[in-house]
């Protein structure tokens, strides 16, 4: 009933354009809401993978240092220095 009142007051083409614009607005709002949710999920996954890579890097450096000490080979000091000062990403 409200659409008919609007169509009588401003004319049918203008009322139809307003209704079409509202439909487009609702459609875009629905699409963007789902995309935003997916982006948040992917962001969480990427952050978790980044933490795993940091943890693996620290573990590889630790193993490399232990093997070098066991075999009495000079460890790669530059590599250890680049990783020094970074926080461990593990939550144990």
Which sequence spans correspond to the domains of the chain? 2-83
Higher pLDDT, 6 or 91: 6
pLDDT band at residue 7, thresholds of 50, 70 and 90? confident
| Torsion on CA atoms 53, 58, 64, 65, rounded to nearest 10 | 170
Name 8's Cβ contacts closer than 8 Å, sequence gap at least 6.
Answer: none
Higher pLDDT, 15 or 21: 21
Distance CA 58, CA 70 (A): 18
Q: For the whole model, what pTM was predicted? A: 0.53
The model's pLDDT over 36-80, given as tens digits with 9 standing for 90+, comes to 888 999 999 999 999 898 888 888 888 988 998 899 888 877 777
């Amino acid at each position: 009933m409200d659409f008919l009142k609007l169509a009588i007051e401003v004319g049918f083409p203008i009322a139809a354009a307003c209704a079409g614009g509202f439909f487009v607005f609702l459609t875009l709002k629905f699409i963007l809401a789902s995309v935003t949710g997916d982006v948040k999920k992917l962001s969480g996954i990427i952050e978790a993978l980044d933490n795993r890579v940091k943890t693996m890097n620290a573990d590889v450096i630790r193993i490399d240092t232990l093997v070098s000490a066991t075999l009495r080979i000079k460890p790669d000091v530059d590599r250890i220095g680049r990783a020094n000062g970074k926080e461990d990403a593990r939550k144990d």
